[in-house]
Amino acid sequence: MLIERAGERLGQIRLSFDIDNTCIGTYARTVHLYNWVHGTNHRFEDVKTNWELARWFEKDTTLEDGRAAATNFYNSRQVMVEADPTAGAMVVLSWLKRLQIKPLFISARPATATGFTYEWYGYWTPWIDRNSFLLQTDGVDINPEHKVQKINSKGIEWHFEDVAEDALDILNRTKAGVVMVNQPWNLDFSYAGSRLIRSQDPRSMSNLAYAFLELTRRLV
């Protein structure tokens, strides 16, 4: 089996995972909850930018600037704790556990969401130690430097990511390769060279397992 053959090599490299929309289906939960609250029928596959939710607030409510409302909604407990894992995430994380491989989890979530992060992983993956999380420690805003800083300081070799802007930053400013988790908002992203991996399988949308499979193919 391909993944079994890659197991030894995986144990020799430093892996890290983004959290939202890589391991946790945060935006899928956001769309579902938003539609339930507002009686709308927006579709997850139509989310093409980070600020799609803000645009919905401006369209569906009286708000002229929906960014603050979108940020508060997205960072709420009802989204961050109650979201399901992305497709394939439990398969990947359980398989890594079986091989005693301990990846790191790097997220630019605001520090105010730290408790939500631990609560979610404590429920779904209680075997993951809190020391495996590299989270922002202060502030209510996203620090765009956070992922690059942590990837460089920890010597990460491959990082799983869904945000094109973050992927580009990592590729340009670290030595790490990026394994892209296909999402509606990143399908147009490309990068010359061999340090960007993404699945071309039509079943790979929002699926961490297909992204992980592409990495194993690279390693064997």
Chain-wide mean pLDDT for the chain? 94
Statement: residue 3 has pLDDT above 90:
no
Q: Note the pLDDT of residue 11.
A: 87
Predicted pLDDT at 1? 63
What integer is the mean pLDDT of 81-100? 97
Kindly report, residue by residue over 148-196, the tens digit of the pLDDT.
Answer: 999 999 999 999 999 999 999 999 999 999 999 999 999 999 999 999 9
Listed in sequence order, the residues at least 6 apart from 9 whose beta carbon sits closer than 8 Å to its beta carbon are 219, 220
Going by pLDDT thresholds of 50, 70 and 90, the confidence category of residue 137 is: confident
pLDDT of 152 reads 98
How large a percentage of the chain has pLDDT more than 90?
Answer: 87
Note the pLDDT of residue 57: 97
Question: What is the rounded distance in angstroms from the CA atom of residue 86 to the CA atom of residue 27?
Answer: 10
Which position has the token pair 């005693």? 100
How much is the pLDDT for 141? Answer: 65
Residues 115 and 27 sit within 8 Å (Cβ to Cβ) = no
Q: Give residue 138's pLDDT band: very low, low, confident or very high (50, 70, 90).
A: confident
Q: Please tell me the pTM assigned to this model.
A: 0.95
Element housing 172 (H / E): helix 164-173
In the predicted model, what is the mean pLDDT of residues 129-150?
Answer: 87
- In the sheet that 196-198 helps form, which strands lie side by side, from edge to edge? 133-134, 104-106, 15-17, 158-161, 177-180, 196-198
Tokens at 210, concatenated: 């297909």
